[in-house]
C-alpha cells in the first residue's frame, strides 16, 4: 500500500513549519501543471503495484523527471519546494502534512480551500495553510477516504472513519455541504496520557488523581461526562492504567481511540453498513456480544443510544469496574441522558425502573469542562447513593471553584471538598486501599 504521513513520517516536506514561503500564482499554476502530467502514471493503483520499499523512490524520480520536462529553467530553491510539494501530494495529504506532523496540533478543521483552522491547547486559530482550489481540496479528501476503504462524492457525500494511526476523520462534500468540502481531523495521541500528565497540566490535583486511580482498583462503575472536546476519552485512557494486568478487558467503540496499556485486551469496533445497506454492526450488538466473552471489565468508549440499556445490565450483573463516557453539561444531565438512551433500546420499561437500574449500576460520575482559556479541567466528582422516591440521589464529593481569570487569561480557581464521606470507602477497605480521612486534603 502507498505510504502516507500516518505511517511514514519521513515523507519530504512533512517536517516543514506552518509558515511556508509565499507561493506565487505562477508557482501554483506550475505545480498544478506538473501534477496533471504525473497524475495518471502515479495513480494510487499504479503505486500499489510497487514494492513498499520502492514507492518513495519511484515517486521522487517521477517528480524530478516531470519538473525537468515542464520547467527545465526553474531555480534550485523553487525546484526543491516543487519536489517537496509534489511528493506530499502523491505520498501524503498535500498542504495538511505539516499540520499532521506538528505535535502541538490536536484538531485540524478545513472549512474551505483557503480557510484551515487548528486547535492548540484548547484554543482555535487560523493557519496560513491553503489549498490551490476546491478541486485540490476534494482530491486530498478523496485520498484520505481511499486510505480507509471509503469513497466520497456526490452519491456518497459523508465519510466518518478512523485513519491507520487512530486519528478520527470526518469529511462532507456537496450537496450536503453547502459551502464546499469540509474536513475535520482529530489527531491521535501517540503518547497516551496518564494521570501524572493530567496533574502536570492542571486538569486535577494530585490527590484527585490518586483517588481516581483507587476507585478504578476498587472496581467501581464509573461514568465520565462532559461536553465535546473536554477530554473524556483522555481521562478514560488515563484512568484505565490502574486496571490490573490479570484482568480481561473488552473495549467497545464507534471508532477505536482507547489506548489500553494492559496485555489482555479485546478491542471491538462498530462497522457501518456497506453500499447495499448490509453488514452494519452497532455498539449495542457489540455490548451484547461482549457479555459472552468472559470479560472482567467492559469499557464502552461513549454511550450514545440503546446500548446504554445493555451496559447498565452488564454493570448490574457482576461486571464491576466497567467504565464509559457520555456527552452532558452536568452530572445530573448525564443521568437524564442515560434515561433517554435506555428508551432508545425499544424496550418498554417504567421510568422508575430505569432510574433504579442507573442508581444500582453506576457508582461515580466524574465531570469535565473546557474552561474559557481553553484548558480542560475536572470540575466535580459525584457519587450516586441510591433513590429517594422516583429520583436518583447523588452527592458531590469534590468540585473545582473558579474564582476568576488572571491577567494572562488563565482561569484561576481551586478544588474544594464538600465534607461528605464517600460510601465507596467500604470497597476501599475490602480491597486494602488507603481511605483518606479528609477529602479536603485530596483537593489540595
Q: Give residues with Cβ within 8 angstroms of 23, minimum separation 6.
A: 31, 81
Q: Residue 287: which of 311, 270, 306 has the closest Cα?
A: 311
Specify the pLDDT at position 15.
39
Reading the chain (444 residues) residue by residue, the pLDDT tens digits are 333 333 333 434 433 333 344 567 777 777 777 777 777 666 655 666 666 566 677 777 777 777 777 777 777 777 788 777 777 777 778 889 889 888 889 899 999 988 999 998 778 999 988 888 888 899 889 888 887 778 888 888 988 877 777 788 999 999 999 989 999 998 877 777 899 999 998 899 999 999 999 999 999 999 999 998 899 999 999 999 999 989 999 999 887 788 888 889 999 988 877 767 788 899 999 999 999 999 999 999 999 999 999 999 999 888 899 999 999 999 999 999 999 999 998 888 999 999 999 999 999 999 999 998 889 999 999 999 999 999 999 999 999 999 998 888 889 999 999 888 899 988 888 888 877 766 766 766
Interatomic CA distance for residues 96 and 417, integer angstroms? 45
Beta bridge partners of 375: none
Interatomic CA distance for residues 391 and 403, integer angstroms? 32
Report pTM: 0.77
b/e map 141-180, b = 16+ CB within 10 Å: bbbbbebeebebeeeeeebebbbeebbbbebbbeeeeeee
Place of cell 469496574: 321
Place of cell 498542504: 95
Specify the pLDDT at position 98.
87
Helix (H) or strand (E) holding 212: helix 206-217
Interatomic CA distance for residues 44 and 90, integer angstroms? 8
Radius of gyration of the chain (CA): 25
What does each C-alpha distance from 268 to 33, 288, 290, 388 come to in angstroms? 45, 12, 9, 37
Specify the pLDDT at position 23.
67
Interatomic CA distance for residues 300 and 223, integer angstroms? 10
Specify the pLDDT at position 258.
84
Specify the pLDDT at position 92.
77
DSSP state of 166: S
Specify the pLDDT at position 2.
37
Q: Give residues with Cβ within 8 angstroms of 381, minimum separation 6.
A: 208, 211, 212, 364, 365, 366, 367, 396, 397, 398, 399
Other CB atoms closer than 10 Å to residue 71's CB: what's the count?
16
Residue 111 C-alpha cell reads as 472549512
Interatomic CA distance for residues 90 and 140, integer angstroms? 10
- Residue 265's SS3 state is strand
- Residue 35's SS3 state is helix
Interatomic CA distance for residues 19 and 23, integer angstroms? 11
Contact 109, 57 (CB under 8 A): no
Specify the pLDDT at position 428.
87
Amino acid at each position: 500500500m502507498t505510504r502516507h504521513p500516518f505511517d511514514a513520517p519521513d515523507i519530504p516536506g512533512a517536517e516543514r513549519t506552518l509558515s511556508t514561503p509565499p507561493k506565487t500564482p505562477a508557482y501554483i499554476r506550475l505545480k498544478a501543471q506538473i501534477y496533471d502530467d504525473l497524475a495518471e502514471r502515479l495513480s494510487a493503483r499504479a503505486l500499489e503495484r510497487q514494492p513498499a520499499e520502492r514507492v518513495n523512490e519511484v515517486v521522487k524520480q517521477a517528480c524530478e523527471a516531470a519538473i525537468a520536462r515542464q520547467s527545465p529553467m526553474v531555480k534550485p530553491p523553487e525546484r526543491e519546494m516543487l519536489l517537496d510539494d509534489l511528493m506530499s501530494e502523491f505520498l501524503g495529504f498535500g498542504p495538511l502534512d505539516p499540520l499532521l506532523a506538528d505535535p502541538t496540533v490536536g484538531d485540524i478543521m478545513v472549512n474551505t480551500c483557503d480557510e484551515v483552522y487548528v486547535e492548540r491547547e484548547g484554543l482555535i486559530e487560523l493557519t496560513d495553510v491553503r489549498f490551490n482550489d476546491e478541486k485540490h481540496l476534494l482530491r486530498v479528501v478523496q485520498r484520505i477516504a481511499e486510505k480507509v476503504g471509503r469513497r466520497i462524492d456526490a452519491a456518497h457525500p459523508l465519510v466518518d472513519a478512523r485513519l491507520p494511526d487512530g486519528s478520527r476523520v470526518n469529511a462532507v462534500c456537496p450537496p450536503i455541504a453547502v459551502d464546499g468540502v469540509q474536513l475535520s481531523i482529530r489527531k491521535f495521541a501517540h503518547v497516551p496520557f496518564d494521570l501524572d500528565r493530567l496533574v502536570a497540566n492542571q486538569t486535577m490535583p494530585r490527590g484527585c488523581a490518586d483517588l481516581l486511580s483507587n476507585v478504578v482498583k476498587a472496581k467501581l462503575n464509573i461514568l465520565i461526562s462532559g461536553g465535546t472536546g473536554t477530554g473524556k476519552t483522555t481521562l478514560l485512557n488515563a484512568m484505565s492504567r490502574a486496571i490490573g494486568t490479570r484482568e480481561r478487558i473488552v473495549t467497545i467503540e464507534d471508532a477505536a481511540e482507547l489506548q489500553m496499556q494492559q496485555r489482555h485486551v479485546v478491542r471491538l469496533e462498530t462497522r457501518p453498513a456497506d453500499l447495499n445497506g448490509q453488514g452494519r454492526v452497532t455498539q449495542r450488538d457489540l455490548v451484547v456480544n461482549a457479555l459472552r466473552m468472559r470479560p472482567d471489565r467492559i469499557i464502552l468508549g461513549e454511550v450514545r443510544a440503546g446500548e446504554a440499556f445493555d451496559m447498565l445490565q452488564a454493570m448490574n450483573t457482576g461486571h464491576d469496574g466497567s467504565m464509559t463516557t457520555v456527552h452532558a453539561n452536568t452530572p445530573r444531565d448525564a443521568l437524564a441522558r442515560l434515561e433517554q438512551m435506555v428508551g432508545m433500546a425499544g424496550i418498554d420499561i417504567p421510568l422508575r425502573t430505569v432510574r433504579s437500574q442507573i442508581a444500582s449500576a453506576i457508582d461515580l460520575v466524574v465531570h469535565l469542562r473546557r474552561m474559557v482559556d481553553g484548558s480542560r479541567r475536572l470540575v466535580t466528582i459525584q457519587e450516586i447513593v441510591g433513590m429517594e422516591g422516583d429520583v436518583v440521589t447523588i452527592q458531590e464529593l469534590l468540585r473545582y471553584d473558579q474564582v476568576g481569570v488572571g491577567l494572562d487569561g488563565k482561569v484561576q480557581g481551586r478544588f474544594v471538598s464538600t465534607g461528605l464521606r464517600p460510601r465507596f470507602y467500604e470497597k476501599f477497605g475490602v480491597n486494602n486501599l488507603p481511605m483518606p480521612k479528609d477529602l479536603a486534603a485530596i483537593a489540595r
